[in-house]
Amino acid sequence: MHLFMIHGLLLLSLANAAAVAALPPIPLAKPGCPDRCGNLSIPYPFGTREGCFLDDTFLITCNSTTNTPFLQDGNIKALDISLDGHLRIFSQAANDCYAKNGSRYFNRPWTRLSIFTLSFSRNKFVAVGCDTYAWLKVPWDIDTPLDVCHSVTQRIQWLMGLALEFPVVLDWSIRNKTCEEARKNITAYACKDNSVCRNSDNPPGYRCYCLPGYKGNPYLSNGCQEIDECKDPSLNQCISAKNCLNTVGSYKCYCPKGYRGDGRKGRKGGTGCTAEDKLSLWTKSIIGVTKFPVVFDWAIGNETCSDAQKKPETYAYKDNSICHDSDNGPGYRCNCSDGYRGNPYLANGCKGTYTIGFAGVGIGFIVLLVASSWLYLVLKEKAHQA
């Protein structure tokens, strides 16, 4: 029996034990395509068969016997796929083992995945061993800083029998083009309606995201569906559902009549709704109003009637009218004479109304005459009989 000493062990583990972002609701996969393999939900652009994935990069092989999903046609188990651009896998740790005499007896580098990149924000890079150093090397410049620390231990027996497989988070994107470059070929452009394109923060490539107020799969036609934020209190800042108005892609908070405020929760900077008194209601009704109806008095010129009559060429008086001095400042006005109506400033503008009156008097006189004659004849007949 030989004694061995582990010289180096590289471990890749999650920075956070929580699962990657929750999967969005249906639509998830393309129509007619499987959207699950075991416990794994498979959103497009990933898929399990031809016509169900965007390209071979996003192939998920589902073992029909064990119902276990693997990346492409390899042996790397897929644990979770997020439309936010994260892929969680189960991977073996890299290790480099030496015998006590210093000779290497086993070496296994960490699996290289050229199609996906290691997430800088969701993993911890750990090296464990005696007199061991480890480093990460990337083929492009990155802005994300990498924290470095180390600790020293005299005993590593606890490593014996340790599981050498750990969950690892990878970043995925639609590869090799920026949003600007991808839009030039609209046929191959992956982002669909109601979505926005963003360049990957772990390049190269780009990702698609549903617009605010929409939810679903931005890589599918009609995949981003408008949501009603008013039905879910976690999606709006209104004080209650009755104070929430759903709009296309968004929502509005409001206060009912008789209340003032913005209808938003106070802890989020809102003012809520407060009952108003009558005075404040009236005051609120005129806030922002800049135009009101106003009545002016007008008159002709700056002269009195007597002065204006001395200048016939400019005198506004016409037939069948009468002149009045203005009762509000200088000038004069004209009115149709009694028995006339119309516009006193126009020639023949005042029309007589007496014809109808005379006709009425004439008809009344005739009726009275007939009635009187009838009464006379009746009385005469009675006198004759007597």
Sort strands 60-63 and 250-253 into parallel, antiparallel or unpaired. unpaired
Q: Is the pLDDT of residue 109 over 70?
A: yes
Lowest mean pLDDT among 4-18, 164-178, 241-255: 4-18
In this predicted model, what pLDDT tens digit does every residue of 281-300 receive, in sequence order?
Answer: 566 666 667 777 889 999 99
Confidence of residue 3 (pLDDT cuts 50, 70, 90): very low
Q: Is the pLDDT of residue 368 over 60?
A: no
CA distance 238 to 106: 62
Residues in a beta bridge with 244? 253
Lowest mean pLDDT among 101-115, 298-312, 327-341: 101-115
Contact between 124 and 146 (Cβ < 8 Å): no
242 phi and psi angles, rounded to 5 deg: -75, -10
Euclidean distance between the first and the last CA atom of the chain, given in angstroms as a whole number: 170
Confidence of residue 108 (pLDDT cuts 50, 70, 90): confident
In this predicted model, what pLDDT tens digit does every residue of 183-221 receive, in sequence order?
Answer: 999 999 999 999 999 999 888 899 999 999 999 999 999
356 CB burial (10 A radius; 0-12, 13-18, 19+):
exposed
Contact between 92 and 165 (Cβ < 8 Å): yes
Instruction: Over range 121-142, report the average pLDDT.
Output: 73
CB atoms within 10 A of CB 298: 9
In this predicted model, what pLDDT tens digit does every residue of 313-362 receive, in sequence order?
Answer: 889 888 889 999 999 889 999 999 988 999 999 999 999 875 544 445 55
Confidence of residue 4 (pLDDT cuts 50, 70, 90): very low
In this predicted model, what pLDDT tens digit does every residue of 57-95 receive, in sequence order?
Answer: 999 999 988 999 999 877 889 999 999 999 999 888 888
Instruction: Over range 254-283, report the average pLDDT.
Output: 78
pTM across the whole model: 0.58
Q: Is the pLDDT of residue 156 over 70?
A: no
Lowest mean pLDDT among 46-50, 191-195, 258-262: 258-262
Return mean pLDDT, the chain. 80
Tokens representing residue 11 in the block:
């471990």
Confidence of residue 254 (pLDDT cuts 50, 70, 90): very high
- Report which of residues 18 and 100 the model is more confident about: 100
Q: What is the Cα Rg of the chain in Å?
A: 47
User: Diameter of the chain by CA atoms?
Assistant: 171
- Distance of CA 319 to CAs 108, 341, 376, Å? 119, 11, 48
Contact between 105 and 3 (Cβ < 8 Å): no
- Report which of residues 39 and 381 the model is more confident about: 39
CA distance 320 to 333: 14
Q: Where do the structural domains in the chain lie, given as residue ranges?
A: 4-171, 179-226, 229-286, 301-370
CA distance 221 to 216: 11
Q: Is the pLDDT of residue 22 over 50?
A: no
